[in-house]
Amino acid sequence: MDKQKLLERCKYYKAEKFNPYESLETHKTMLWEYEKLWVEWTLAGNIGSNPLIGYLHEYINDGMELFEDSDQTPITLKALLYNRFNHWCPGPGFEHWYKTKYQKKVPQK
């Protein structure tokens, strides 16, 4: 997938040089940073040393592989967000957070 296609999957990161949310909204600042890392790591490949592989294994091992699997967010980005959510907010709640705070809304036809 090329960079433009990856950026289309991001909610906050749009390839800006500097984080536009810095010092404005902490949660958007962090999500911008996570999406930026996701784009960089995805483009880098390096399967053996890519952190996304570990996050993906964690996500799948926790039974999350089918969670919102038909939305437009790639599973590797969800896995990164899941890992970071569990780092900052251990315990249940990712699904609710994702659906209410992060998931892109698809316009109704």
Listed by start position, the domains of the chain span 3-7+26-102
- For residue 11, the model assigns a pLDDT of 95
Nearest Cα neighbor of 1 from 53, 64, 76 is 76
- For residue 104, the model assigns a pLDDT of 80
pLDDT band at 106 (very low <50, low <70, confident <90, very high): low
Nearest Cα neighbor of 94 from 70, 74, 56, 68 is 68
pTM to 2 decimal places: 0.90
Residue-wise pLDDT for 5-32, tens only, equals 999 999 999 999 999 999 888 899 999 9
Residue-wise pLDDT for 43-83, tens only, equals 988 777 789 999 999 999 999 999 999 899 999 999 999 99
